[in-house]
Structure 1
Amino acid sequence: MQINKILIHLHTPKTGGTTLRKIITKNYKNSSHNVYLDEPKRKRKLKYLNQKNVSCIQGHFPFGIHKYLSKPCDYITMLRDPIDRVISEYYFIRRGTRHRLHQQVMKMSLDQYLRRSESINLQTRYLSGATGPVTRKDLEIAKKHIQNHFAVVGITEMFNESLFLMKKKLGWRDISYEKQNVTKTRPSLNQISDSTLIELEKHNKLDIELYNFAKKILEQKLISLDQNSKQELNAFLSKLSN
């Protein structure tokens, strides 16, 4: 397993990251640390961890936390179809009575929720490290971060293929899993009105472009696998489908 770098799991909300977090924790055991904290508590925790023997850090934080760490780092993350991600997040918060936004979101329609600045192009914000409204410049920064700082950017809709590539790249031993935090009570896309879907697309154009960019890279990595690795991947996918 790769140990010369700290692995940073940038956990974007509602992308399958909780399932991935469980897999990562299993492979890194006691050297994996969760940092699901807001500023400034996050900074204090990262400065503390920098003095410890840490192999992996996971949490809901934007790109850039490697600046608090003295060892070299590699990032991984998952990106999800932006329209589906916002819908899933909305219904997840409404279901989760302990979520900090639960009371607020219970008073909002999906159309109101999707216009929240925090919901718009969230994946681009996370991967660019932007702190304000996301711009096209931030999108280009996020793309460069993917190319230069991420070992693998997975795609939620291709979770198993993404997981396999992470295993190969990072030397993970055990990638068996059970899905976590699945929003079972949400409607399917064909149950959402066309007008709402149009609004979702309009407000998340940058995320859609980033998602398609990352998906092409992932697909190219799968195509470029050697024959033995392709056979190993097919066996892994076949095992999961049984």
Structure 2
Amino acid sequence: MSKPLFFIHPPKCGGSTVISFFDLNLDRDKFINFVWGGVSQEKTRERFLASGIGGGHDPIGIHRDLKMPLEYCSILREPLRRQISHYWFARNGKNGGVARGVSVSEAEALAQGGELSLDDWVGESCSGKNLFVQMLSGHGRVNRESLELAIENVRQHIPTVGVCEDMSDFLLRLCGRTGMRLPFFIRTNVTEGVPKECSPLSERAREKFVEDNHLDYELYRYVCDEIARERESYGAIYTRAIEAVRQIQRRIDALDNPYIYTGKSNMFGFDENHLRMVREVATSADLSPIDAYIELAQSRRRECGDLFDGFVDAVNDDMVHGWAVNLSVPDKCVPIEIWVREKLVATTLTGNPRPDVAAAGYASERCGFAVRLPEEAQEGFRVKIAGSAQTIRSAGTWQRGWHMA
């Protein structure tokens, strides 16, 4: 892989199981779980840069914090199933995690104490409303524009997105993207002792959830359709490969598994002896159909779109001042556009000296810009990067008096 890989892990979408895939293909401690903020931030950064593989419950955008280009991957799950899974996970104390000191939200604490019903949890989307769109767009509050950005990010910056319902497909395609050879996993962090059949969900709660999370459903359907198209494009080569993966995975699933009902693996990794046993099962089988798919997928590998960072610093004397860096190609000028509603009214290129930006750790000093506002922009405008869905910070709508809307 030419760039570090960051796994965007929405909660209760099989992320711990995905991490077993990385441990199986790489050294046990290769995958870096992100603890981002405070005293752990610099240590996490150093470990991630040394490893090149990591992830966490973070939305797209970590490339800005790291000041470098990344490749992203992610996994989704049917939204209602994810929401219900999180409820029972909270209800049983997070598979022992609460007893070990794992933090809980107020809603999770109420669920664990039996004071929050499944209907209440689902009806209020307590595990997050339109969470997938939030995480793949990077927007805290989402709307139709956020969905469009999430889809564009999948097209340009998250080339491998899978669904939890078909883990083998996701990991096979991830091997095709990364060149890793073993698309297998150790099932882990399955919620134990869940009496789901005893707690039916009301139709009222179900309908409200679907309505409140319609953007997530659109994104999920888009991803499923794209996966189907990608499978079809590989024809029989994919079919033979996935059949081999599923056959070998059944043998792995038959092994004694000490991790299936524990969440500890996400933080502490998998025992090397157990990993060795799983590798032996995998590598003793005929991997040639899988190798053939990976080789073809690698030959078709497309580059991701450029990633940017930047900031609109100020608007004064009818001039917009700021900076922008192409993290993928730092020496390349960034084209900046000023838009009034749906009309392009001004353009410029970065190139002005900004030693403060370079001193902050970015790989470019000549990244500043200043552009004059035309008369028609006096009542409000937006700043965009030309030809990219990527945005720079404080680039939203500026209103007269030059403050953010």
TM-score, reference length from structure 1 = 0.87
- The structural deviation recorded for 1:60 is 1.0
In structure 2, the CA distance between the partners of 1:235 and 1:205, relative to structure 1 (3 Å rule), is same
Higher relative contact order (CA 8 A, sep 6+): 1
Instruction: Report % sequence identity.
Output: 26
Relative to 1, partners in 2 of residues 1:116 and 1:198: Cα closer, same or farther, differing over 3 Å? closer
TM-score (norm 2): 0.54
Deviation for aligned residue 1:82: 0.3
Total equivalences in the alignment: 237
Partner residue of 1:32?
A: 31
Q: CA deviation at 1:216?
A: 0.8
Distance 1:125 1:230 in 2: 33
State the alpha-carbon separation in 2 of the partners of residues 63 and 188 from structure 1.
36
Question: Considering only CA atoms, is the larger Rg found in Structure 1 or Structure 2?
Answer: 2
Using a 3 Å threshold, how does the CA distance of structure 1 residues 202 and 134 change in structure 2: closer, same or farther? same
Deviations along 1:157-198, one digit per CA (max 9) or x if unpaired, are 122111111111111122332211112415269932222211
Secondary structure of 2:50's partner?
Answer: coil
Any unmatched runs of 5+ in structure 2? 252-405
Alignment of 1:83-232 (within 5 A): 83-95=80-92, 96=94, 98=98, 99-101=102-104, 102-106=108-112, 107-114=115-122, 115-116=124-125, 119-131=128-140, 133-184=141-192, 185=194, 187=196, 191-232=200-241
2:189 alignment partner AA = N
1:233 maps to 2:242: yes
1:103 positional shift: 2.1
- Which amino acid in the other structure matches residue 90 of structure 2? I
SS in 1 for 2:59: coil
Give the Cα separation in 1 of the matches to 2:133 and 2:171: 21
Aligned counterpart for 1:17 among listed residues 15, 18, 40: 15
Give deviations 1:33-74, integer Å, cap 9, x for gaps. 111x35456754554446x42311111111100123355311
Higher helix share: 1
Q: Which residue of 2 aligns with 1:61?
A: 58
Q: CA RMSD in A?
A: 2.5
Displaced runs of 4+ in structure 1, greater than 6 A? none
Q: Which moved more, 1:17-26 or 1:105-114?
A: 105-114
